[in-house]
Structure 1
């Protein structure tokens, strides 16, 4: 009897490279919701500090209203603001992992697979937006000078920024998509557990 667990693993390994390729190729479009959501959150939270976000392919340039006090030669009369560049893709690779696992579930119809992937996309966008927010705050805190003073004036806790940045980067990004996949496919996982228990009983009877 073929092992459904091995079939799932083999299928996932085969589909994952394709899913990562599509995910990275479509990165510019995939981060659009993150762009506008993060922009709305930052400008609503501190309208006197954040001016907006510009997107360069999949990179987000958070434009602040922090003007440098130091004037450089050849820049007289020109205004420059501090930009923080954030790569939201480092918080979104879970979508490719989720897609590879979902496509490999044999009991799901094509419609259900597409539905689950879109649901995961929405959740991953929230994780990415969260990552953009806390990385922006972290970058300003570690920039020193006027940037530090500006973000420090908001009253945000330095420890909170550090903790949320680490949690989002190390925990939420890889764990949330997997947990979502388990929740959405718990019935399939239960059949795998039941098959494994049946196999163990059969092996004991043979002995």
Structure 2
């Protein structure tokens, strides 16, 4: 079915379709974030306690945040046999906003339905790794700089390691979440962007969903 009110130029049509799909994909992503982010928590649960056994007791997933459980010895304050705990909450959604963008780009691009689903699943897996990267470095940053000295002192880092930690956090929070979905889209559709530009420059009014270009 043709949508006549969309722009005729292919590149404008593609951009319009992407923008129209974005609110829907963002709503689904946010609404079902507790399910979509579960693999992130599962991976971190297998990494952080084993890498920092004396600092991180465990990792819990509360549906919206990933919580790090940190033992806190308080001699003379609690009853014998009891221990206090500090918690650090991390929001995996902060590193996964590229997923709805990628899905909107895929929907607005041409391709067979089965391949579109496959690209969406692959993209989701890559975005999960981006989230793990961002959450991991946020965890280390919290252990190093945001906890009381008696805790941060347990994570001994050299100056260059602290610089690397800050760099990793900046990449995970500022660069990768926005760049990775665009890079994935170019990889999924290597010929489509050039075709959009060529058709638009020639003044053709082809529908982006019926182009003869195949990724």
Q: Do both share a fold (TM > 0.5)?
A: yes
What is aligned with 1:44? 50
Distance 1:155 1:42, change over 3 A: farther
What does residue 138 of structure 1 align with?
Answer: 141
2:74 maps to which of 59, 69, 74: 69
Map residues 91-130 of structure 1 onto 2, 5 A cutoff.
91-105=95-109, 107-130=110-133
Distance, in Å, in 1 between the alignment partners of 2:151 and 2:35 is: 30
Take 1:62 and 1:154, find their aligned partners in 2: how far apart are those partners? 24
Quote how far apart the aligned CAs of 1:153 are: 6.6
Partner SS for 2:85: coil
Off by >6 Å, runs of 4+ in structure 1: 153-156
Structure 2 partner of 1:90: 94
Flag structure 1 segments of 5+ consecutive residues without an equivalent: 201-207
Structure 1 contact 68–146 (Cα < 8 Å) conserved: no
Q: CA deviation at 1:155?
A: 9.6
Asked whether the equivalents of residues 88 and 142 of structure 2 are also in contact (C-alpha less than 8 Å), the reply is yes
Work out whether residues 74 and 84 of structure 2, in 8 Å CA contact, stay in contact via their aligned partners in 1: no
- 2:64 maps to which residue? 58
Question: Which structure: greater helix fraction?
Answer: 1
Give unpaired runs (5+ residues) of structure 2: 1-6, 205-215
Between the aligned partners of 1:101 and 1:155, the Cα distance in structure 2 is 41
Q: Per the alignment, in what secondary structure is the counterpart of residue 116 of structure 1?
A: helix
Q: What is aligned with 2:178?
A: 174
Q: 1:175 to 1:199 in 2, by over 3 A?
A: same
CA–CA distance in structure 1, aligned partners of residues 140 and 121 of structure 2: 29
Distance 1:68 1:155, change over 3 A: farther
User: RMSD over aligned Cα, in angstroms?
Assistant: 2.2
Q: Tell me the equivalent position of 2:195.
A: 191
**Aligned pair count?**
196
Are positions 1:147 and 2:151 aligned together?
yes
**Distance in 2 of aligned mates of 1:71 and 1:98:** 54
In structure 2, what is the Cα distance between the partners aligned to 1:192 and 1:163?
A: 36
Q: Report the TM-score when normalising by structure 1.
A: 0.86
